[in-house]
Structure 1
Amino acid sequence: MSEEFTVVPVAHVVGGRAEPTDDYWGGTRSVIRIDPDQFTEESVVGLEAFSHLEVVFRFHLTDPTDLHPEPRHPRGNPDWPAGGIFAHRNMRRVNWLGVSRCRLVKVDGLDLHVEALDAVDGTPVLDIKPWFSVMGPQGDVREPAWPSEMLADYYTDPRG
């Protein structure tokens, strides 16, 4: 069942945060700089009509030995139930892939100015997609209470 493939970044994150943190991504502004050797400005035509992007990226600062496929408590909090690797959304992933939804502030050539992208300066971006609300969850959404408790300040602006 094992299959390997190569993925080439289409862009990199410029600016914003230098170090990943658990919370306070609100107000964080950065640029997704699309690689001009691979793409022209024609690749972003029409993108400015969308308010949000879905960004697939690689957690490039993650220690590859820091994988925990066994059940563990989110953020080490014993008040929250232990879950396996696929019950978490953190950077400890086998392929180190992250998915984020952020606000598109403006398109300037091949620079996409974004807000609340939870990826740091230098992060390789593997794909960029406009957010279609119709592609969001279908039907009722079910989740335990702990993610909302844990992420209460995730998109809070640290400047108040």
Structure 2
Amino acid sequence: RRTLKSLVADLRYYKNPQATAEVIDKNGFLHSGDLGVKDEDGNYRITGRIKDMIIRGGENIYPREIEEFLYQLEGVKDVQVAGIPSKKYGEAVGAFIIRHEGADLHESDIRDFCIGKISRYKIPKYIFFVKEFPMTGSGKIQKFKLKDIGLQLCKEQGIEII
């Protein structure tokens, strides 16, 4: 019989010790990159991913929190939030929104909905209305591509990145 510790010690990426070292520390703890909260019963709930986190001028911003807030706005069918590179802050909040058919939402509607309800630094600096999100073959949203799409849309719209 093997102990759990000996089983964990054998876990690693196949022929990739560098990737293994990035996620399994010297004590055998796996760092999955998931963010979560522990409730009063000791259960954990996954709330997001570290890689999805936006760092704006030292503030940690969790896209999922903003997405869940923006879903409350009538006319928003789907929304994804991603970091857009910023010279001044490192990253700025970008919201990519798919409208419900017939919805007449504008950037000002999004900002007005946010003001006074969420922290000022969490209000999207860049708001893009899109028809679809970049997807993998298995149907998962490729959030890492949203940054590049946001930069391209800013360029096309003559928006200067600050």
TM tier, smaller = under 0.3
TM-score, normalising length from structure 1? 0.23
Greater relative contact order (Cα < 8 A, sep 6+): 1
Larger Rg: 2
